Amino acid sequence: MTDHLSIASICRDLPGPDNPSGGVFVLRRLAGMARHATVEALQPIPWFPIVAPLSASARADNHRAADLSITHAPMFYVPKFLKSLDGYWLYRSIFGQLAALKQSRRLDVIDAHFGYPEGVGALLAGRRLGIPVFVTLRGFEAEYLHKPLIGDQIRFLLRNVDGCICVSHFLQDLALKNGAVESKTRVVHNAIDSSVFHTGDRQASRLRLGLPPDSPIVISVGHLTARKRHHVLIDAFSDVLQHDGRARLLIVGGKSFEADYPRRLRRQVAELGIEDAVSFLGEVEAGLVGEYLRAADVFALGTQREGCCNAILEALACGLPVVTTPVGDNARFVVDGRNGFIVPVDDRTAMARAITAALQRPDWVPDHIAATLNVGDWDRVAAEVLEFFAERTSRRQ
């Protein structure tokens, strides 16, 4: 039945000329779905006159990524103000294209990524067009539910959507507490690309990357935003250096929506006097991320909020012990002493101790750590999503 579904997927954050690393996990799922169904990807692109105009690439009708054509939907909005209207602005941006798809009989399902504003806007459009709407919760909802007016819109969405995919059990619990019907929810974790993220020869990777062969290396992967708590990791790493001055910290990830945070991190490193031991590698393409992970000894991320953290899944797939926090579903994947350590959020001392213990432990076996990871590839994720769509739409009919 899934072979006959025509799906319009809505997401503001997708890889493109202006943001190559945006929404890569959304894109991978869409690419997997497109092998078994008809997928039209619509990308609402926010704009406001003079203050936030559309870029040259955004003014084009579409762009391609992962063999998918992504159609642009310019979305008027007001920067920093009236954020409770963003769901309505998004609805206005996508409605005409969705109506055209329905008229041409190429629309069975609307597939929204993130509860707000995509989910809310998609629900408004779906109710008007009489098309089933599904939403995927990815983590931001945990914050938005506490925002005045926006939280009420998300709860309305959860009560009325045809299906809710959650990338973690944590998000499923959150959805159920806020009005979702259990039979309409499904947990589908993210996946990894095993051709890129796998175990390998650590010294060979270090040689290829020009990294010192004998230094203990800690690596962290994540956008440079305060939620990822890189500042806590840097403080903890300065304590680790007291135990082993040879240690090195590699931080992979580029700036995101918090423009000052990367500068704050560099100032912090300078003030601690550890500039020779910390490297900011910026945006790194996936294949090279896998190489850096295989070259390291320990992965560490003090993140404050997650849905399903792909960086942790990828580190485990590369055989690295992981030191992280219990947010999202992290503790479902990282088991103390088996493949890493769980520490409290914002606890510099606990993180430093865990990293030191992980570096000093001699009996980590990368293949054993990789074997603890039980997630599939993106084709399996796509198949689970399509099966859920088919199940829910058949019940609706």
Q: What domains are defined for the chain? A: 2-191+377-396 (3.40.50.2000), 202-371 (3.40.50.2000)
Question: pLDDT, tens digit, for every residue of 253-310?
Answer: 987 778 899 999 999 999 999 999 999 999 888 889 999 999 999 999 999 999 889 9
Is the per-residue pLDDT at 325 higher than 60?
yes
State the pLDDT confidence band at 397, using cuts at 50, 70 and 90: low
Give the pLDDT confidence score for residue 197 in this predicted structure: 95
Helix 310-317 to helix 286-295 angle (10° resolution) is: 60
Give the pLDDT confidence score for residue 255 in this predicted structure: 79
State the pLDDT confidence band at 3, using cuts at 50, 70 and 90: low
Is the per-residue pLDDT at 4 higher than 90?
no
SS3 assignment, position 249? strand
Give the pLDDT confidence score for residue 77 in this predicted structure: 95
Question: Residue 274: how many CA atoms within 13 Å on its side-chain side?
Answer: 26
Tokens 């430093």, located at residue: 352
Is residue 126 within 8 Å of 132, Cβ to Cβ? Answer: yes
Report the alpha-carbon distance of residue 167 to residue 184 in Å, rounded. 14
Question: pLDDT, tens digit, for every residue of 369-386?
Answer: 999 998 888 999 999 999
Is residue 6 within 8 Å of 36, Cβ to Cβ? Answer: no
Mean residue pLDDT of the chain comes to: 94
State the pLDDT confidence band at 1, using cuts at 50, 70 and 90: very low
Question: pLDDT, tens digit, for every residue of 153-176?
Answer: 999 999 999 999 999 999 999 999
Mean pLDDT, residues 129-144 taken together: 95
Question: pLDDT, tens digit, for every residue of 53-65?
Answer: 999 999 999 999 9
Mean pLDDT, residues 208-216 taken together: 96
What is the longest distance spanned by two Cα atoms in the chain? 67
State the pLDDT confidence band at 395, using cuts at 50, 70 and 90: confident
Edge-first strand order for the sheet with 62-65 is 62-65, 68-76, 38-47, 6-10, 109-113, 133-137, 163-166, 185-187
pTM: 0.90
